């Protein structure tokens, strides 16, 4: 940002540019991309609506960052939570997965450990599964965006998507925040999870874009290697403040345009308006 460097704006070690110096305003071009991709009408001149993508590799600390956005009362759509809902009893994905992987459905819901064993390391099986799940996930995401775009006081939402770059949905975002951590920290965090092994972790990593590349593409980067929750919270608050500043700026411009549109266009209208004000 012009001549201004906030506390959270540090030089991104993956690039020669200061990520926070980018102008993150909702441009008409980005809005048009979103309109086309989401198939909903977004008039950003009248209502700025900022979509912040949140992503990070497994064990990066993304879930913690997501929860901190929620504590700031910012709506968050969680891709993993959506998949969990689809896999639960009554979920739309259950009958589809039962047809493809019968043994993965137990008591009318998808048993994720079993499904994981069936597809892990099997590229063909993974592609079949993704072809079933991705349309349902996209449908849920669109419903979330429509709901919050229609809310009067909602101008900022977060889309928490682990495979954001891998699934090429970054075009829906006005900016992307990548959460990262050092290799040692990530390994320690992930290998503490029940049922996780070094072999499984290697397979998962092989299907994800390297963290360095994600950071290079990002608008904002938060490194959680130190596990300093307070510092992470401050970084998030700084990022949100930057985005809200841009939103308020655009709201101000929208109000100015509205006032200009309501002003009389010729001398007869101007005189008529003046007389009305005198008589009020």
Angstrom distance (rounded) from CA 237 to CA 214: 21
List domains and CATH numbers for the chain: 1-75+154-260 (3.40.50.300), 79-153 (3.40.50.300)
Q: Report whether 162 contacts 56 (CB < 8 A).
A: yes
The per-residue pLDDT of the chain, averaged, comes to: 81
**DSSP 3-state assignment of 77?**
strand
Q: Model confidence over 173-222: pLDDT tens digits? A: 989 999 999 999 999 999 999 888 988 888 888 888 999 999 999 999 99
Entry pTM: 0.77
Angstrom distance (rounded) from CA 127 to CA 132: 9
pLDDT at residue number 119? 92
Strand partners, 176: 53
Residue 153 has pLDDT above 60, yes or no: yes
Give per-residue burial for 106-132: e unless 16+ CB within 10 Å, then b: eeebbbeeebeebbeeeeeeeeebeeb
Element (H, E) at 34: helix 28-38
Measured between alpha carbons, how far is residue 22 from residues 97, 112, 119, 180, 243 in Å? 43, 40, 40, 20, 11
Helix axes 123-149, 79-87, angle to 10 degrees: 110
Q: What percent of the chain has pLDDT over 90?
A: 55
């Amino acid at each position: 940002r012009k001549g201004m460097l906030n506390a959270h704006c540090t030089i991104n070690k993956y690039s020669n540019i200061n990520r926070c110096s980018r102008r993150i305003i909702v441009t008409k071009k980005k809005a048009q991309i979103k309109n086309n991709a989401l198939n909903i009408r977004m008039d950003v001149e009248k209502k700025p609506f900022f979509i912040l993508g949140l992503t990070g590799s497994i064990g990066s600390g993304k879930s913690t960052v997501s929860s901190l956005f929620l504590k700031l009362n910012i709506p968050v759509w969680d891709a993993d939570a959506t998949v969990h809902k689809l896999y639960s009893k009554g979920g739309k994905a259950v009958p589809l997965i039962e047809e493809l992987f019968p043994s993965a459905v137990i008591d009318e819901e998808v048993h994720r450990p079993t499904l994981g064993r069936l597809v892990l390391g099997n590229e063909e099986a993974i592609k079949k599964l993704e072809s079933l799940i991705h349309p349902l996930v996209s449908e849920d995401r669109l419903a979330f965006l429509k709901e919050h775009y229609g809310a009067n006081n909602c101008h900022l939402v977060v889309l928490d998507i682990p495979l954001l770059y891998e699934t090429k949905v970054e075009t829906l975002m006005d900016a992307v925040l990548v959460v990262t951590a050092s290799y040692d920290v990530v390994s320690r965090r992930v290998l503490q999870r029940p049922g996780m092994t070094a072999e499984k972790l290697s397979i998962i990593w092989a299907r994800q874009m390297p963290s360095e590349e994600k950071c290079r593409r990002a608008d904002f980067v938060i490194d959680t290697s130190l596990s300093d929750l307070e510092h992470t919270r401050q970084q998030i608050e700084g990022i949100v403040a930057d985005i809200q500043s841009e939103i308020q700026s655009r709201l101000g411009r929208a109000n100015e345009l509205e006032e200009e549109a309501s002003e009389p266009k010729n001398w007869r209208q101007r005189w008529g308006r003046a007389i009305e004000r005198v008589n009020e």
